[in-house]
């Protein structure tokens, strides 16, 4: 679904990604974590065919950036951005339908087919916001908007779903409802690959299968979530001692007040890697 190989990304003379390599397979649900400035959004922009690497290669759904019409490629990528820049008072249903045209507003003289409208309503019901389908976007809660944006991303039947901090601005109840929604999406779309960007392990759904930890533009560790989301790797990523626990498929993180001795780093596996230069 996604292949990133030896990628550097430079902007305004600053190296934001440094030698990043990563692959995502069908049905894998990845968490992309790291501190502020780690390069998470930059990497997600490459995955969404929004930007191109300075060096290295990025292949999305078997097509290499730089040799493909990105407008066509983006039709197979669902992108969820909670900071959706809508200005007009569209209804929830209309916002979901804009996923078919890849626009923020409804296109002039464009009308959905009856089948497309039915599909939009099915997704809205699946994500448990059916009663709000005809309500204006401005009247929706942040949690309802988040679920609507997921429906918008799914309406084009993408092979890859990208979620950029989808829990932004949500209270605890709304966050939990959103995570339940993501688990529903993964159970009803079993072949869908996804990447979710977050700062917080508590914002990961139980359906998460893999994780990539990023610090200062470099990969600290990647692989199966149960091997990567452990105290040693997360502490190294955030440069602070953090205790990680997992219970019933959910992770929690707790900062340690005392400064412990350096925690042992788990041995690398065929899918977990780390850079010694990052261990500071």
Residue 52 covered by a domain: yes
Residue 105 covered by a domain: no
Strand partners, 230: none
Edge-to-edge order in the sheet of strand 2-11: 14-24, 2-11, 55-60, 63-64
Residue 258 covered by a domain: yes
CA 6 to mean position of chain CA atoms: 21
Please, which pLDDT band fits residue 265 given cuts at 50, 70 and 90? low
- Least confident interval from 1-15, 67-81, 232-246, 264-278: 264-278
Residue 275 pLDDT exceeds 80 = no
User: Domain containing 8: what range?
Assistant: 2-76+158-278
The per-residue pLDDT for 106 is: 84
Torsion, Cα 24 146 205 241, to 10 degrees, reads 90
CB 30 within 8 A of CB 212: yes
Separation in Å, CA 135 to CA 92, 105, 144, 202, 204: 6, 16, 11, 31, 29
Quickly tell me which residue has 């779903």 as its tokens: 161
Residue 142 covered by a domain: no
Q: How many domains does the chain have?
A: 1
Residue 224 pLDDT exceeds 90 = yes
Please, which pLDDT band fits residue 258 given cuts at 50, 70 and 90? low
Residue 278 pLDDT exceeds 50 = no
Separation in Å, CA 208 to CA 37, 93, 103: 23, 28, 29
β pairing state of 14-24 and 2-11 = antiparallel
Span 62-90, average pLDDT: 86
Q: Quote the longest CA-to-CA distance of the chain.
A: 65
Nearest CA-CA partner of 77 in 92, 66, 61, 56 = 61
How far separated are the first and last CA of the chain, in Å rounded?
33
Other CB atoms within 10 Å distance of the CB of residue 108? 5
The per-residue pLDDT for 266 is: 59
Residue 210 covered by a domain: yes
Residue 270 covered by a domain: yes
The per-residue pLDDT for 73 is: 86
β pairing state of 210-215 and 218-224 = antiparallel
Residue 168 covered by a domain: yes
Summarised one tens digit per residue, pLDDT across range 84-132 is 888 788 999 999 999 988 888 888 888 999 999 999 999 999 998 999 9
Residue 181 covered by a domain: yes
Q: Which domain CATH number covers 8?
A: 3.40.50.300
What mean pLDDT is reported for the chain? 89
């Amino acid at each position: 679904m996604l292949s990133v190989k030896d990628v550097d990304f430079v902007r305004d003379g600053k190296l934001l990604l440094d030698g990043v390599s990563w692959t995502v397979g069908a049905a894998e649900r990845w968490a992309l974590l790291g501190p502020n400035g780690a390069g998470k959004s930059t990497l997600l922009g490459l995955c969404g065919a929004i930007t191109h690497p300075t060096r290295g290669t990025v292949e999305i759904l078997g097509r290499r950036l730089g040799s493909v019409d990105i407008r066509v490629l983006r039709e197979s990528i669902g992108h969820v951005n909670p900071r959706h820049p809508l200005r007009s008072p569209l209804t929830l249903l209309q916002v979901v339908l804009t996923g078919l045209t890849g626009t923020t507003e409804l296109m002039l003289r464009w009308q959905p087919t009856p089948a497309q409208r039915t599909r939009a309503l099915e997704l809205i019901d699946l994500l448990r916001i059916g009663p709000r389908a005809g309500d204006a976007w401005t009247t929706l809660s942040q949690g309802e908007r988040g679920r609507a944006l997921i429906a918008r991303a799914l309406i084009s039947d993408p092979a890859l779903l990208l979620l950029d901090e989808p829990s932004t601005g949500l209270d605890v109840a709304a966050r939990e409802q959103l995570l339940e929604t993501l688990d529903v999406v993964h159970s009803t779309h079993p072949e869908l690959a996804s990447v979710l960007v977050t700062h917080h392990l508590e914002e990961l759904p139980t359906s998460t299968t893999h994780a990539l930890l990023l610090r200062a533009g470099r990969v600290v560790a990647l692989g199966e979530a149960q091997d990567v989301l452990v105290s040693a790797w997360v502490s190294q990523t955030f440069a602070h001692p953090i205790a990680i626990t997992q219970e019933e498929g959910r992770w929690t993180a707790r900062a340690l007040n005392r400064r412990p001795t350096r925690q042992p780093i788990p041995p690398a596996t065929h899918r977990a890697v780390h850079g010694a230069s990052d261990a500071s």
